[in-house]
């Protein structure tokens, strides 16, 4: 099965290593009025998908959660605050360093474990009740092997986001990342439904359209 080429994989890692602090700043509450205005125009979907993901997770007390593409750990830390035991993976070491620090500052370091790893080569320590991948499939040339492996290590629910192919800001985002040498991929609704179906080990799909993203809630097996 096709995956990111080594140069493309290195490009994504390099981009997020270099942009870790700027990326994490999206979630800061202490912002100027102009920054908040920009967020309301272009980034509200990020906050909406997190809120819906947490709603779909339900009671997280003692749930084992896998966060694939954990980034700076914002989602993982919030799930840990709600009682989950979270394993967060990212292949950008700078992101993992930020996630580890965030968990320590939030007082949930004992409920979070972060690793810099290539997910397809990673060995899961156990099965998970819930697996999450928000903003991860934006950067996978072929999502099938990732979704199949996530299904293999999940005994329950998967919640994933996929950026929509035909949105007015799609070309802008593609060009911005291209200038940084970072590939990005977009999806149609039927493609998302096929990717999160039986062929990759998932089923019982619930799909929501959130401005620029599809957010899906599926179950393994």
- Domain ranges in the chain are 6-220
Closest of 49, 28, 211 to residue 136, by C-alpha: 49
Instruction: Report pLDDT digits (tens) over 116-125.
Output: 999 999 999 9
Residue 32 pLDDT exceeds 60: no
Fold entry, domain 6-220: Rossmann fold (3.40.50)
Q: What is the pTM of this model?
A: 0.83
Which residues partner with 163 through β-bridges? Answer: 213
Percentage of the chain modeled with pLDDT above 70:
80
Cα distance between residue 87 and residue 21, in whole Å: 21
Q: In the chain, which residue ranges form alpha helices assigned H by DSSP?
A: 6-24, 33-42, 44-57, 74-81, 93-106, 144-152, 170-179, 189-195
Cα distance between residue 208 and residue 11, in whole Å: 30
Cα distance between residue 29 and residue 18, in whole Å: 22
Contact residues for 57 (Cβ-Cβ < 8 A; gap 6+): 63, 65, 79, 82, 130, 157, 159
Q: How sure is the predictor about 170, in pLDDT bands with cuts at 50, 70 and 90?
A: confident
Instruction: Report pLDDT digits (tens) over 184-218.
Output: 899 999 999 999 999 899 999 999 999 889 999 99
């Amino acid at each position: 099965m096709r995956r990111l080429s080594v140069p493309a994989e290195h490009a994504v890692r390099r981009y997020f290593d270099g942009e870790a602090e700027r990326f994490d700043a999206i979630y800061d509450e202490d912002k100027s009025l102009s920054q908040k205005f920009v967020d309301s125009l272009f980034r509200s979907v990020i906050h909406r998908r997190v809120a819906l993901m947490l709603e779909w997770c339900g009671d997280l007390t003692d749930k084992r959660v896998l966060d694939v593409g954990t980034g700076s750990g914002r989602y993982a830390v919030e799930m840990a605050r709600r009682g989950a035991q979270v394993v967060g993976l990212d292949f950008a070491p700078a992101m993992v360093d930020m996630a580890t620090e965030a968990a320590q500052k939030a007082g949930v370091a004992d409920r979070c474990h972060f690793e810099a790893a290539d997910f397809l080569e990673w060995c899961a320590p156990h099965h998970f009740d819930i697996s999450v991948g928000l903003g991860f499939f934006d950067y996978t040339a072929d999502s099938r092997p990732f979704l199949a492996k996530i299904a293999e290590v999940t005994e329950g629910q998967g919640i994933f986001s996929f950026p929509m192919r035909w949105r007015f800001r799609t070309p802008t985002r593609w060009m911005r990342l291209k200038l940084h040498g970072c590939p990005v991929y977009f999806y149609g609704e039927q493609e998302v439904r096929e990717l999160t179906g039986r062929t990759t080990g998932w089923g019982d799909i619930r799909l929501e359209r959130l401005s620029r993203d599809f957010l899906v809630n599926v179950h393994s097996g």
